[in-house]
């Protein structure tokens, strides 16, 4: 077996981000041929990526890229452990992918994975990270808001980790203070929809059926059930639609009322939290 030059081991590790022992073994197998060792590590990495497909990537980060005050993108990039999430290589990958998202505005995750930057598809970049970091790495979702005034708020749930919550808020006209207040509210209160009108019909039908069943089980008079159910649906809107939620800084008014009092309209928002719907 050829003797291994430790300088080559170090160089191979820096190039591939593989472990020290893996680099040493690859150089031994390649009998000191550096280029062949790189190929061996990439081949091994590709095989390992296949094994990782069934594993769960429930950690990760939310990445942000902004271009002025009217264009911004959020990305959720997932991995398996918080150890990888706080690593430089993972965070650098997230930054490059979200920058690519902002530049190309792909239609969906599948389109994003097929698109390319720096001579490789996004999927190839992810596969390389899979191989190098030893974990399943995947894009879960992304969003782009463009037009009007777009503000962002990023929140770390742990100071040792990158942001786990990201919010974009789009107003019809510039107002940084109001946009920040609403973004921070959304980060804390986790609204799912902007307005009652924006809730999908099937979601409301499901909630309405659940409330009706609940009301019947409580033994309420049949004639009173429709009114009670409607009241509960309206309560649901106040819990889960941004503009009807009670504003965290003044719970006597809704977020919609707060925006109206400040002369702005909230056009859209996006809230991502790692590992949550």
Whether residues 118 and 208 fall in one domain: no
Whether residues 168 and 127 fall in one domain: yes
- What is the structure's pLDDT at 56? 57
| Parent domain of 176 | 59-196+242-273
The CATH number of residue 47's host domain is 1.10.8.10
Does the pTM exceed 0.85?
no
Whether residues 116 and 211 fall in one domain: no
Whether residues 177 and 164 fall in one domain: yes
Whether residues 253 and 133 fall in one domain: yes
Whether residues 185 and 86 fall in one domain: yes
* DSSP run (H or E) holding 168: strand 165-171
Whether residues 157 and 178 fall in one domain: yes
pLDDT in tens, 21-80: 778 888 888 888 877 887 777 666 644 444 444 455 679 999 999 999 999 999 999 999
DSSP string for residues in 140-159: EEEEEEESSEEEEEEE-SST
Q: Is residue 46 part of a domain?
A: yes
Q: Is residue 186 part of a domain?
A: yes
- What is the structure's pLDDT at 53? 46
Whether residues 183 and 205 fall in one domain: no
Closest CA to 12 of 3, 25, 1, 128: 25
Instruction: Map tokens 């702005």 to a residue.
Output: 264
Instruction: Map tokens 């990305």 to a residue.
Output: 75
- What is the structure's pLDDT at 2? 55
Q: Is residue 1 part of a domain?
A: no
- What is the structure's pLDDT at 156? 94
How far apart, in whole angstroms, are the C-alpha atoms of residue 189 and residue 29?
Answer: 55
10-residue stretch averages of pLDDT, the chain, 277 residues long:
72 70 83 80 55 62 97 96 92 98 97 96 93 89 98 94 97 98 96 96 92 88 93 94 97 97 98 90
- What is the structure's pLDDT at 41? 73
- What is the structure's pLDDT at 12? 75
Burial of 118 (0-12, 13-18, 19+ CB in 10 A): exposed
Burial of 60 (0-12, 13-18, 19+ CB in 10 A): buried
How far apart, in whole angstroms, are the C-alpha atoms of residue 21 and residue 27?
Answer: 10
Tokens at residue 166, please? 């990201």
Whether residues 93 and 208 fall in one domain: no
Whether residues 223 and 109 fall in one domain: no
Q: Is residue 90 part of a domain?
A: yes
Phi, psi of 157 (to 5 degrees): -80, -15
The CATH number of residue 167's host domain is 3.30.479.20
- State the total domains in the chain: 3
How far apart, in whole angstroms, are the C-alpha atoms of residue 248 and residue 38?
Answer: 54
How far apart, in whole angstroms, are the C-alpha atoms of residue 112 and residue 3?
Answer: 44
Closest CA to 49 of 114, 120, 126: 126
DSSP assignment, residue 193? B
Closest CA to 45 of 178, 135, 141, 174: 135
Whether residues 106 and 33 fall in one domain: no
Whether residues 168 and 228 fall in one domain: no
Q: Is residue 29 part of a domain?
A: yes
């Amino acid at each position: 077996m050829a003797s291994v030059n430790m300088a080559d081991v170090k160089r191979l590790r820096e190039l591939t981000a593989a472990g020290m022992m893996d680099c040493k073994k690859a150089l031994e197998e390649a009998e000191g041929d550096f280029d062949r060792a790189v190929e061996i590590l990439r081949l091994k990495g590709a095989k390992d990526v296949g094994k990782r497909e069934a594993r769960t990537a429930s950690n990760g980060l939310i990445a942000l890229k902004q271009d002025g005050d009217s264009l911004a993108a959020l990305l959720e990039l997932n991995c398996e452990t918080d150890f990888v999430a706080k690593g430089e290589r993972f965070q650098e990958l997230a930054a490059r992918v979200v920058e690519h998202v902002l530049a190309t505005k792909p239609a969906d995750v599948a389109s994003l994975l097929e698109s390319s930057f720096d001579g490789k598809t996004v999927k190839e970049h992810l596969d390389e990270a899979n191989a190098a970091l030893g974990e399943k790495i995947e894009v879960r979702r992304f969003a782009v808001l463009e037009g009007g005034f777009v503000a962002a708020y990023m929140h770390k749930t742990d100071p040792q980790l990158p942001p786990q919550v990201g919010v974009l808020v789009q107003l019809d006209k510039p107002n940084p203070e109001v946009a920040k207040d609403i973004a921070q509210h959304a980060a804390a209160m986790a609204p799912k929809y902007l307005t009652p009108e924006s809730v999908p019909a099937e979601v409301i039908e499901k909630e309405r059926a659940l409330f009706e069943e609940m009301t019947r089980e409580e033994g309420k008079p049949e004639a009173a059930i429709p009114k009670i159910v409607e009241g509960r649906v309206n309560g649901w809107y106040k819990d889960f639609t941004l503009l009807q939620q009670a504003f965290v800084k003044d719970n006597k008014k809704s977020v919609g009322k707060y925006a109206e009092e400040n002369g702005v309209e909230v056009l859209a928002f996006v809230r991502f939290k790692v590992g949550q719907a």
